[in-house]
Amino acid sequence: FYQAELSQKDPVHDTVVELNKKIKAKKGVWGTFATKTFSLPNAMVYHDCSVVGEIVKVEAGGRTLHTAEGECLQNVDAVVFSTGYKNAVSFLPDELKQTDPRSLYKHMFHPKYRDKIVWIGWARPNFGSQFPIMEMQARLFALICKGELTLPAPAEMEKVTCIDRSTYLEQFEDNAYRVRSLVDYHRYMDNMASLLGCEPPLWQYFFLHPRIWLRIVYGAIQSTQFRLRGPGNKESLARELLMKLPVSKPTHIVKAGFKGRVIYALRALIPKFRSFGFKGS
């Protein structure tokens, strides 16, 4: 999988691939979150920066560090800690000041207070921008305020919250425990779209507007497709913007993803296709 990507003749690109190979999450890159910058691989290629494992022991006043992999780093000049941050909203009552996003329905609504208060922006995507998520959250809350949608009963809210929490803890492992707002961008956005009724009509566009479909599926990670239909839709503008998106190059990842989509589509349409020996990942 990774070896197929080591053919770009670009040292920075290859360094990114090597960094991804070190991910230990069970689900690979989908079990962690992205650092949305090339500063690190650039520093590694051009400025002698190196990446080490988790620091588990400090000696000699910080001059010697030991990693979880057994590596010993000596003559260290300085150690900079980027820790100490916590979620806290001072104006809230004490019981809500440090609310765990994973205890909220869709990382937004407290089952006790329901639509009397809403947390918007407490769902951080593993990949992609946080702003489209906040837009979807705002759209949902607006419909609730207008009376066009209602929240489920408290018991159902807690049930759904428990399922979502278990899903993300299983997917992201330690990262999910550490970054309590961490969610899967596509899973979260698609779920929000189903609540809003604005899921993109992928099958319709696959057959009737294949060029737009291509940009929805293999264009940039964004949210324009969620304006094609449903409340607040702007179909003409959404189509225009989608057509301006670049399409991913046919890398190994793109080819594998396209093959998977074809297989799963055939499985859905032709049950007997399951007997052909294809197994989902």
Instruction: Map out the domains of the chain as residue ranges.
Output: 3-73, 87-196
- Residue count of the chain: 281
Taking only the tens place, the pLDDT of each residue in 210-259 is 999 999 988 888 899 999 999 999 999 999 999 999 988 776 667 777 77
pLDDT bracket for residue 125 (50, 70, 90) = very high
Neighbours of 214 (CB within 10 A): 16
Residue 73 has pLDDT above 60, yes or no: yes
Instruction: Sheet with 55-59: list strands edge to edge.
Output: 55-59, 64-67, 72-73
* Angle, helix 185-196 to helix 130-145, in steps of 10 degrees: 20
Residue 237's contacts (CB-CB under 8 Å, 6 or more residues apart) are: 227
Provide the pLDDT for residue 126. Answer: 92
Mean pLDDT calculated for residue range 177-195: 94
The residue whose two tokens read 């689900």 is: 27
pLDDT bin (cut points 50, 70, 90) of residue 146 is: very high
Q: What is the pTM of this model?
A: 0.81
- pLDDT tens string 9-24: 788 888 888 888 888 8
Dihedral over alpha carbons 255, 236, 130, 96 (to 10 degrees): -130
Helices 252-269 and 210-218: crossing angle, nearest 10°? 120
Confidence of residue 278 (pLDDT cuts 50, 70, 90): very low
Residue closest to 41 by CA, chosen among 18, 7, 22, 67: 18
- pLDDT of 86 > 80? The answer is no
For the chain, give the mean pLDDT: 87
Q: How confident is the model at residue 4 (pLDDT cuts 50, 70, 90)?
A: low
